[in-house]
């Protein structure tokens, strides 16, 4: 990690000392907190999109990922009648 650390918006090069790096992180955290309403709005949109799409459809057993296998095997998730499984 010897490459210079450059702020993507301002182009400002961040120093390499621990103090300079911590200060740069603090500034970025404050900037991101200012975007909190956008993140909340995006999460709300994603929830509405998921509701509009309807229940999940799992692929056939042979084509499932590890996560999909665990969901299908879960007594709470896999037994949900709305959860469709492709033949």
Q: What does DSSP say about strands 5-6 and 13-14: parallel, antiparallel, or unpaired?
A: antiparallel
Nearest-angstrom CA–CA distance, 50 and 21:
39
Quote the pTM value: 0.49
Nearest-angstrom CA–CA distance, 75 and 58:
15
The token pair that represents 43 in the structure block: 């999460």
Nearest-angstrom CA–CA distance, 75 and 77:
6
DSSP-derived letter for residue 12 is: P
Phi, psi of 27 (to 5 degrees): -65, -45
**How would you write the pLDDT of the chain (87 residues) with one tens digit per residue?**
567 788 888 888 888 889 999 999 999 999 889 999 999 999 999 999 988 988 778 889 899 898 888 888 877 765 554 455 555
Measured from the Cβ of residue 21, the count of other Cβ atoms closer than 10 Å reads 13
């Amino acid at each position: 990690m010897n490459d210079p650390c450059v702020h993507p918006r301002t182009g400002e090069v961040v120093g390499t000392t621990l103090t300079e790096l911590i200060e740069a992180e603090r500034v970025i955290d404050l900037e991101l907190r200012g975007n909190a309403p956008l993140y909340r709005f995006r999460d709300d949109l994603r929830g509405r999109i998921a509701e509009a799409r309807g229940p999940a459809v799992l692929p056939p057993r042979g084509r499932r990922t590890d996560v999909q296998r665990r969901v299908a095997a879960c007594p709470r998730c896999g037994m949900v009648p709305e959860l469709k499984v492709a033949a």
